[in-house]
């Protein structure tokens, strides 16, 4: 049983560990509007910072409140394994005894305490609260009902390309685009980014670190959290999906691959993997809701470095890796800019496919093709025909082709098609919608 003095020692040691980490490591400023997030908790409210484990949520939260009076506790600490929801008031008491004045309360991985929702609901009526978690359903249970809209959730991703460049010590002045040498350095960094991914600690620990993240997500965030009995089936589906990144799948196929009896179980397993932020799915675009449900979905991994560490097919198709990276970036920009985008892929009855459809409200705002091309001649006519046909079908003339290293603009069928290299699209966060 944890007592008040134990709690104060744990809180103090956690504080010292993070402060030492921030002093010791090369901490990268995240490409996020921190002021906007702080504005959400100017008054009593709950801000939930969610994302895949080890993407930097704790440090990000700590930096977000730099200079503020806050109490922080991480419930993932094994010393708190016996802590019950009835003891959470004692955590608040410990904060006040340690710091006297506390303006913000930060609860890291609070979902590890069963029944935490009522406690946070009561606290937020008069306090400013930040909670973090590595499960997207953190706010979908009782808490959402208790809070009745008085919360904001924000998804943090692994490093984007600009953050990755900072981590690598590449500094760019305002005229760097005019330097052939510097541009070449950025292009090389883009290729390395695809191979290594954006997890903050991957530069120190490498491939083994990514494999550990994968196993922790599957074992702790999925198998243990959802109490799954058919362990092998879940692991088979996870490995199959991460090896078939940027491709279509059906739940029936997954059921057969994993020797499951029910297709709904396969659907549940995919949902659990999505909830843990290991991977995400996109639906095929259609103006008919029924077709969303019955058409195959496409699967993407949260980080291309994880694909490299886990997949059996990593080097097989560089273009698919580029597509996966663009998918991640689209969702990242949606989160970081508080956009109401809906992201789909498109395929017509003749199997002509467009990689991404960006829908805002009732209108399709942009169509995106991704291709591993360094010249116009390398871009297949099939890809271009699919883009132009979709443009007519979906009434969208904002057409973008993300290439590896080709840039231009051309007219085709009275439409303007823009070609932008991946590294430039990533670095400048070109929204174009």
Handedness of CA 90, 91, 96, 99 (dihedral sign): positive
Give the helix/strand (H/E) hosting 130: strand 128-133
Specify the number of domains making up the chain: 3
Q: Where are the beta strands (DSSP E) in 277-362?
A: 279-282, 297-301, 341-347, 353-360
Q: What is the pLDDT of residues 332-369, one digit of tens each?
A: 999 999 888 999 999 999 999 999 999 999 999 999 99
3-state secondary structure at position 131: strand
Specify the CATH number for the domain of residue 230.
1.10.10.10
Could you tell me if 290 and 363 lie in one domain?
no
Q: What is the pLDDT of residues 236-251, one digit of tens each?
A: 999 999 999 999 999 9
The residue out of 102, 121, 155 marking a domain boundary is 155
pLDDT given for residue 118 in this prediction: 87
Residues contacting residue 184 through CB under 8 Å, at least 6 positions apart:
none
Contact (CB, 8 A) for 73 and 58: no
Q: What is the pLDDT of residues 151-170, one digit of tens each?
A: 888 999 999 999 999 999 99
Q: Mean pLDDT over residues 116-132, rounded? A: 91
Contact (CB, 8 A) for 41 and 104: yes
Rounded Cα distance between 273 and 226, Å, is 11
239 in any annotated domain: yes
Q: Mean pLDDT over residues 114-123, rounded? A: 89
Could you tell me if 338 and 252 lie in one domain?
no
Torsion of CA 28, 32, 36, 42, to 10 degrees: -30
Contact (CB, 8 A) for 153 and 140: no
Please check the confidence at residue 218 and state whether its pLDDT lies above 70: yes
Could you tell me if 376 and 405 lie in one domain?
yes
pLDDT given for residue 431 in this prediction: 56
pLDDT given for residue 139 in this prediction: 66
265 versus 290: the higher-pLDDT residue is 265
Q: What is the pLDDT of residues 287-316, one digit of tens each?
A: 877 776 789 999 999 999 999 999 865 455
Report the percent of the chain where pLDDT is more than 90: 82
The residue out of 260, 292, 316 marking a domain boundary is 316
Could you tell me if 8 and 151 lie in one domain?
yes
160 in any annotated domain: no
pLDDT given for residue 138 in this prediction: 75
pLDDT given for residue 238 in this prediction: 98
Please check the confidence at residue 96 and state whether its pLDDT lies above 60: yes
**Summary mean pLDDT of the chain:** 92
Could you tell me if 302 and 425 lie in one domain?
no
Report pTM.
Answer: 0.95
pLDDT given for residue 206 in this prediction: 82
* Residues spanned by the domain of 50: 4-155
Specify the CATH number for the domain of residue 124.
3.40.50.300
Among 67-71, 265-269, 285-289, the range scoring the smallest mean pLDDT is: 285-289
106 in any annotated domain: yes
pLDDT given for residue 311 in this prediction: 80
């Amino acid at each position: 049983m944890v007592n008040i003095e134990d709690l104060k020692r744990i809180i103090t040691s956690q504080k010292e560990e993070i402060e030492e980490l921030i002093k010791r490591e090369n901490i990268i400023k995240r490409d996020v509007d921190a002021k906007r997030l702080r504005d959400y908790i100017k008054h009593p409210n709950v801000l939930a910072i969610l994302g895949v484990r080890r993407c930097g949520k704790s440090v990000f939260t700590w930096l977000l409140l730099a200079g503020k009076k806050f109490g922080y506790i991480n419930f993932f600490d094994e010393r708190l394994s016996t802590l019950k929801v009835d003891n959470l008031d004692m955590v608040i008491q410990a904060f006040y005894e340690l710091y006297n004045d506390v303006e913000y309360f930060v609860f890291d991985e609070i979902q590890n305490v069963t029944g935490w929702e009522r406690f946070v609901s009561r606290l937020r009526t008069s306090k400013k609260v930040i909670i973090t978690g590595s499960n997207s359903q953190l706010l979908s249970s009782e808490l959402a009902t208790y809070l009745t809209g008085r919360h904001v959730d924000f998804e943090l991703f692994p490093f984007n390309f600009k953050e990755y460049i900072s981590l690598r010590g590449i500094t760019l002045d305002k005229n760097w685009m005019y330097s052939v040498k510097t541009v070449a350095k950025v292009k090389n960094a883009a290729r390395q980014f695809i191979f290594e991914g954006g997890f903050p600690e991957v530069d120190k620990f490498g491939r083994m670190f990514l494999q550990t993240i994968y196993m922790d997500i599957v074992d702790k965030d999925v198998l243990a959290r959802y109490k799954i009995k058919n362990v092998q089936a879940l692991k088979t589906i996870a490995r199959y999906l991460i090896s078939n990144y940027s491709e279509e799948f059906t739940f029936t196929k997954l059921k057969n691959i994993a020797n499951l009896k029910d297709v709904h179980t396969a659907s549940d397993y995919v949902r659990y993997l999505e909830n843990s932020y290991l991977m995400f799915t996109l639906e095929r675009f259609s103006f008919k809701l029924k077709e969303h449900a019955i058409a195959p979905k496409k699967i993407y991994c949260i980080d291309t470095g994880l694909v490299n560490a886990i997949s059996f097919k990593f080097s097989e198709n560089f273009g698919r890796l580029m597509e996966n990276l663009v998918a991640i970036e689209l969702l990242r920009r949606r989160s970081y800019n508080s956009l109401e985008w809906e992201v789909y892929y498109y395929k017509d009855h003749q199997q002509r496919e467009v990689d991404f459809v960006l829908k805002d409200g009732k209108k399709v705002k942009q169509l995106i093709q991704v291709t591993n091309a360094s010249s116009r001649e390398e871009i297949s006519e099939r890809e271009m025909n699919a883009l132009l046909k979709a443009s007519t079908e979906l009434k969208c003339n904002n057409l973008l082709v993300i290439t590896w290293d080709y840039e231009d603009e051309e007219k085709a069928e009275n439409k303007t098609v823009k070609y932008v290299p991946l590294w430039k699209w990533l670095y400048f966060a070109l929204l174009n919608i």
